[in-house]
Amino acid sequence: MRARLLFLFLLSSFASFIAARPVVRNIQSAHEFDRLLQKHGTETGLPVVVDFYSDSCGPCRMMAPIFKKVAADYVDRAVFVKVDTNAQYELSGRYQIRSLPTFQWFIAGKQVQTEVGGIGEQGLRHHTDGILRRAEIENVVITLEALEEFYQKADPSKTDVASVLKKCADMTKAKGLCAGSAANQLARKLRKKYGSMPKMIPRFSGEPPKPETTEEPPTQSSSSSSKQQTANLHLATLEELQAELEKRQDQLRDEMVEAEDANEDEADPDFTPWTPKSYPERVVIIGGGPAGLAAALYCARAGLDPLVIAPILGGGQLQGKGVVVENYPGLIGESTTGPEIVSKMRKQAAHFGAFFEDDVVVAVDASQRPFKVQTNATGTIETHTIIVATGAESNWLGIPGEWELRGGGVSSCATCDGFLYSNRHVVVVGGGDAAMEDALVLARTSQSVTVVHRRDRFRASKVLADRVLSHPAITVRWNTVLQEIVGKELPTEDKSDSDVDLDQIPKVVTGVVLQSTESGETEELACDAVFVAIGHTPITGFLKDVVEFDPAYPGYLATVGTSTQTSVKGIFAAGDVADPTYRQAITSAGSGAAAALDAERYLSENGLGNEAAELEAELLAELMGNDDATKSSSSYNVYEDAGGRVHGVKESVTGGEL
């Protein structure tokens, strides 16, 4: 008992300041999360935005800075928190997290919306704005006095007014209050019946409550009171001591939570924000995978200030590889997973002067020069050259249940979602390298992995195929295809108010229907998740009727000879969009470098330089014309001594081309 009292005393002495609410709060326990929902559901009325993530998930890591950026813009209007699903199993199970990243929004402690996957900055803002409008609508309360006053005018014969208010209060989580959606529902019913409705007042004022303080002037009475309270601790029961300890731990956690925010990655000084210019860009690179980033690096080192347009979640197929990349020369060790390699590529390109814009290209106008690149959000960007490096997107089976159960067990990213199915039965569909890698990733945590392949042998590399075939947790079903993915609706908590979205009822995978390609017989196999890895299709639809496609390989761009030049001069193709044969990260990076060299050569041959720098030089020459005329012809010029090439050179003494 004395040890408990001493511990309580030490905890009480830690409180030295009241920390402000951080931009993004990292949840450390289910108890902390419940307390946060209760606080903002009953005291502040602020909506809570939750990011369920994992450090091993590439899209999660790419969404992290976006989540923090949006949180900073909404800091006074919503509460943003992160939940690590690897550490918080209870919360992951309670809120049925089946895919990562998953974003959920809460109002008054109640989950009201869920979005799965990399929704991007625009999606996150859009959904948050909608939740804020809903929170504003639900920030109302009907008091007993207001309801009695209403009935006195609308229906004086009504005597059981208190029972009406109680029914309304029972529909909400607010104890004894007719508030939120229940209050709005009651008001609508009364207006429909009587033509008017009771007066509703704001439940929350919008001002954050002032923190309670226990500081008092150092008077003798307060001192004696404190001594008396300390002296009475030995009279407390064990339950009371445990409750007091939990209370003080919560207080200590609140005071120290700001320090957690420092764990978030700070903005990298190498990344310079892109701003539209009055002159066309010299190089626009569409795509952020190995090909696009290699092109960005080479163009940046050539002083071309390239602009990379790609979603911040876009890192190509390499972004989704959770296994260690073993076949990229020079990369050895545990820190060589796909997301880490992509992150280092972006950092390196940015360090040498590449700019990045988080957007998606929807069209290209090559009918005039300079080219016009139309994006989804930024608008139209003019450029002298374009390097297309958009890569490829996952193919899907197109069978019943596949679309309906995405986010509920159907996925194309084992690295992102695999650990959510720890100690469960999962199915992988495919026979190439991607399917083998997914099966090996899943075998680390899943109880069993069944690989379904339509042929009698894998087309994957021998090393990966042998690993799969020899793994004790992996079973292979040869000459078999999927006919259907079976699922069920999960039971939802009882919602007595009217805001029930039937489309939001969660569904999860319970099994698959298999069919033999030899006998045609079907059978159902129970499983908890299905990972589809059956290849990819080039993302080139926005170039239809702009450049020529390879007639032998639908969707792939045709290039001229051994170069990266497409049928339109000034537009170049790199990576998987023009490579139906090899489709490797290293070959994509190599073609990205080649495209950058081709683009640089094209700009030089056509005299397309830096218009802004040239205009600045002309103006400077005019201003200094008189001075130049009086200069001695024997004066020393450091630029001539350097060989005339100054702009774009960013090399150390030891640095250089490889």
Quote the tokens at residue 452: 């379904």
**Is the fold of 281-394+538-606 the same as that of 397-489+507-533?**
yes
The runs of H, that is alpha helices, within 316-461 are 338-351, 414-417, 433-443
* Interacting residues of 536 by C-beta distance below 8 A, sequence separation 6+: 317, 391, 392, 393, 394, 395, 576, 583
The runs of H, that is alpha helices, within 54-140 are 58-73, 89-94, 120-137
Q: Average pLDDT of 453-461?
A: 94
Banded model confidence at residue 319, pLDDT cuts 50, 70, 90: low
CA distance 341 to 321: 10
> What ranges do the domains of the chain cover?
25-138, 140-202, 281-394+538-606, 397-489+507-533
* Interacting residues of 175 by C-beta distance below 8 A, sequence separation 6+: 169
Among 168, 416, 433, 527, the active-site one is 416
Yes or no: say if 541 and 363 are a contact pair by the CB < 8 Å rule: no
* Fold of the domain spanning 397-489+507-533: FAD/NAD(P)-binding domain (3.50.50)
For residue 581, give the nearest of 561, 560, 552 by alpha carbon: 552
| Annotated catalytic residue 416 | yes
In this prediction, residue 227 carries a pLDDT of: 44
Whether residue 155 has pLDDT greater than 50:
yes
CA distance 489 to 504: 10
Yes or no: say if 78 and 132 are a contact pair by the CB < 8 Å rule: yes
376: buried, middle or exposed (CB in 10 Å: 19+, 13-18, 0-12)?
middle
Point out the least confidently predicted range of 76-85, 128-137, 167-176. Answer: 167-176
In this prediction, residue 170 carries a pLDDT of: 84
Among 417, 576, 579, 598, the active-site one is 417
CA distance 376 to 134: 27
Whether residue 658 has pLDDT greater than 90:
no
In this prediction, residue 315 carries a pLDDT of: 61
Quote the tokens at residue 477: 């079903």
Q: What is the DSSP letter of 44?
A: I
| Annotated catalytic residue 299 | no
The answer to whether the bond into 370 is cis (omega within 30° of 0) is: yes
For residue 3, give the nearest of 223, 225, 238 by alpha carbon: 238
pLDDT by residue (tens digit) across 97-117?
Answer: 888 889 999 998 889 999 887
Banded model confidence at residue 9, pLDDT cuts 50, 70, 90: very low
Residue 5: how many CA atoms within 13 Å on its side-chain side? Answer: 11
In this prediction, residue 254 carries a pLDDT of: 56
Q: Are strands 425-429 and 529-532 parallel, antiparallel or unpaired?
A: parallel
Architecture of the domain delimited by 25-138: 3-Layer(aba) Sandwich (3.40)
Yes or no: say if 490 and 474 are a contact pair by the CB < 8 Å rule: no
Whether residue 282 has pLDDT greater than 90:
yes
DSSP assignment string, 488-505? EEPP-----SS---GGG-
* Interacting residues of 47 by C-beta distance below 8 A, sequence separation 6+: 40, 77, 78, 79, 105, 106, 107, 128, 131, 132, 135
For residue 412, give the nearest of 511, 314, 533 by alpha carbon: 533
pLDDT by residue (tens digit) across 335-388?
Answer: 677 778 888 899 999 999 999 998 889 999 999 999 999 998 889 999 999 999
Which amino acid type is present at position 544?
K
pLDDT by residue (tens digit) across 614-627?
Answer: 777 777 777 776 55
SS3 508: strand
**Cα-based distances in Å from 3 to 9, 10, 142, 165, 227:** 10, 11, 49, 49, 19
Which amino acid type is present at position 461?
S
Q: Between residues 414 and 367, which one has the greater pLDDT?
A: 367
CA distance 54 to 85: 6
Among 178, 413, 527, 598, the active-site one is 413
Q: Average pLDDT of 546-561?
A: 94
Mean pLDDT of the chain: 81
* Interacting residues of 200 by C-beta distance below 8 A, sequence separation 6+: 140, 141, 142, 146, 183, 187
pLDDT by residue (tens digit) across 577-590?
Answer: 999 888 788 999 99
| Annotated catalytic residue 417 | yes
CA distance 151 to 367: 71
Whether residue 445 has pLDDT greater than 70:
yes
Domain 281-394+538-606 has CATH 3.40.1000.10: no
Point out the least confidently predicted range of 32-41, 211-220, 477-486. Answer: 211-220
For the entire predicted model, the pTM comes to 0.60
Yes or no: say if 342 and 252 are a contact pair by the CB < 8 Å rule: no
Yes or no: say if 294 and 345 are a contact pair by the CB < 8 Å rule: yes
For residue 50, give the nearest of 69, 71, 19 by alpha carbon: 71
Dihedral, 330, 336, 340, 346 alpha carbons, nearest 10: 10
